[in-house]
Amino acid sequence: MKRKYIFSLIFALATLGVFYFLQPSKKELCQNAFKSMKQIEYDGIVVKKYIDPNHSVPTFIIRKNNSVIEIADFRDLSGLYEYLKVRDSVVKKRDDNSVYVYRFDSRMATFKIDYGCN
């Protein structure tokens, strides 16, 4: 009986160890999210800005012609969300982490999206 208990305990610990070491690290998860963000492209005018009430995620909605894009990015540390105002024009190109903000009073600012993965 005691042998069965010890075997079960060793098996459980070994299984947990395998799962623990096979998981991607936080740094890998962050770098993967950053790569995915770089693939996103958008261009339009900010029509709404809010903190998502369900997940507390900074979110802004942009519109260009008849299309609407919702950008929700809780990882960004650049200050983009805090700077944005409704009526600003935003441009982000694919394969780039720069976002260009053109303010309605003719000011322009550039933000480098930063997830702090380093």
Q: Residue 74 in contact with residue 30, Cβ under 8 Å?
A: no
Using 50, 70 and 90 to split pLDDT, how confident is the model at 1? low
- pTM of the predicted model over 0.85: no
Instruction: Say what the pLDDT of residue 117 is.
Output: 86
- Which helix (H) or strand (E) is 96 found in, with range? none
The answer on pLDDT for 113 being more than 70 is yes
Amino acid occupying residue 94: R
For the chain, give the mean pLDDT.
88
pLDDT tens per residue across span 22-77: 777 888 888 888 898 999 999 999 999 999 999 889 999 999 998 999 998 888 88
